[in-house]
Structure 1
């Protein structure tokens, strides 16, 4: 009978959210064992060196960075799985060089992320959270009525990155009567929305920018002062990705 020490080891750099919510005992397996880096008193590099020959897979949750340095300490690594859709936190060139298989969640969270984008936009325009704080702070009786919000319908919405999630966001906001335009790496012939090859031009023709693209060398700091100026003081930005776009 195999013990947990005999099973293939899957490295966890930090506890996945499911473990935090439901407890570690809810995830037993007779196929592999979890190697939990956060439980070790050793610094991470020493911990990885101690298990360098046994770690064959990594499970990543929450966009934890997997750098070339970390990969270099794991010569037996064959597979890397991230529970999110993005891969910008993983050093993909090193994975490709070594033939390490990389898998992500694909389109599984796309519908939920698109819903969140619309929810955030409604919250900002209608000032739901802001007015809630105003009332809870007792300011209604001393400062008078809270300022009115703005309707969603009719807004010019520019989507930066019309991929899977961006398309779902556009579909939802069309139902609100929003006018959709987009910026992407290239124009999509199957899409009827106006296309802007330049983010500054997109911002100048939008009331709202929704950032749906991944973080790459090309998108790093793409939302600069010129974009903010083109969008205007009354403009709204909704960022549903992880990354330093600003």
Structure 2
């Protein structure tokens, strides 16, 4: 028997005889991972059609012991309940809020994610959004392409990006990488985090609202999940104010999206750079015509190099679990 530890630190025991035939792919995954699951592991694939899925689970559920999924799809509560023999969930992505981690913890099912390998690219994306939003790079590109410059029109002045006071909401691995980049622009870093981090040398605030009130730009790098839903709402946006900017590369659910749309359309904040949304891939259409808003299609970690590294980490988690019942990067 092999002992492993769940996401909640609960010890569980599992047979060591898990094989490739016990693996289920849930939803679309990275092509590199999908290819390995097919060619190396001969994994099962969960059907998308509801009737086919029900028939598939009736036949296969009792033998499925490992689920491989993306952070966007996850293993939700209903599917997890349908898999009585499930032992481990291997997740592509640093976020895992689509998976019912509470049920997994109760059942002693460990969950892995892909931390660290994407920190730099997500932080680079945050910096790109920061510069684009304040200096309106995308808007000025459209201005040229539309022929307005050639027609003699002048582009409006934008906001200085260097030397700002910037708040980081969530000073974890990615938040720290963002802060380090902004320091190179002479920015003063403030933050709010679940736990104060005095070793960072940055200025701590006890709440998201206090942080928003103290800064020029609020960068959201908080983890997703039920604990962070809507922690930036109308009050925080009002505290940020009409000269303030918001950048979100975390999860769309961290922000009250309707309050954000109102703030942007009414001009009660100066602008926003968004890579994530509440109901992806749906984006509020009222934002499309605003030059004060930069919209990205959730590409924070979307480089060839990082996605390859994430895929390798997923496969390393899978191979190690098959070998000894442990995961390389279990969530804490």
- TM-score where L is the length of structure 2: 0.66
Counterpart Cα distance in 2 of 1:63 and 1:127: 30
Contact 1:40 1:47 in 2 (8 A): no
Corresponding residue number in structure 2 for 1:219: 228
Corresponding residue number in structure 2 for 1:17: 30
Counterpart Cα distance in 1 of 2:188 and 2:166: 6
**Stretch deviating more after TM superposition (64-73 or 176-185):** 64-73
Contact 1:15 1:36 in 2 (8 A): no
| Aligned residue among 226, 231, 245 for 1:236 | 245
How is 1:81-230 mapped onto 2 (pairs within 5 angstroms)? 81-142=90-151, 144-230=153-239
C-alpha RMSD of the superposition: 2.3
| SS of 1:51 mapped into structure 2 | helix
Contact 1:45 1:70 in 2 (8 A): no
Q: 1:112 to 1:91 in 2, by over 3 A?
A: same
Corresponding residue number in structure 2 for 1:63: 72
Of the two structures, which has the highest relative contact order with CA contacts closer than 8 Å and spacing of 6 or more? Answer: 2
Mark the runs of 5 or more structure 1 residues left unpaired by the alignment: 1-5
Counterpart Cα distance in 2 of 1:7 and 1:149: 56
Counterpart Cα distance in 2 of 1:204 and 1:228: 9
Kindly indicate which of the two structures has a greater share of residues assigned to helix: 2
| Aligned residue among 68, 80, 83 for 1:74 | 83
Contact 2:165 2:187 in 1 (8 A): yes
**Stretch deviating more after TM superposition (133-142 or 58-67):** 133-142
Contact 1:49 1:74 in 2 (8 A): no
Query: When the two structures are aligned, how many residues end up with a matched partner?
Result: 237
Quote the offset at 1:26 in angstroms: 6.8
Deviation track 1:192-240 (CA, whole Å, cap 9, x = no partner) reads 1111001111111111111111123332111111111111122111111
**Stretch deviating more after TM superposition (85-94 or 41-50):** 41-50
Q: 1:37 to 1:138 in 2, by over 3 A?
A: farther
Contact 1:211 1:238 in 2 (8 A): yes
Quote the offset at 1:242 in angstroms: 2.1
Contact 1:126 1:151 in 2 (8 A): yes
**Stretch deviating more after TM superposition (109-118 or 138-147):** 138-147
- TM-score where L is the length of structure 1: 0.87
Q: 1:34 to 1:180 in 2, by over 3 A?
A: same
Contact 2:71 2:98 in 1 (8 A): no
Mark the runs of 5 or more structure 2 residues left unpaired by the alignment: 1-18, 257-332
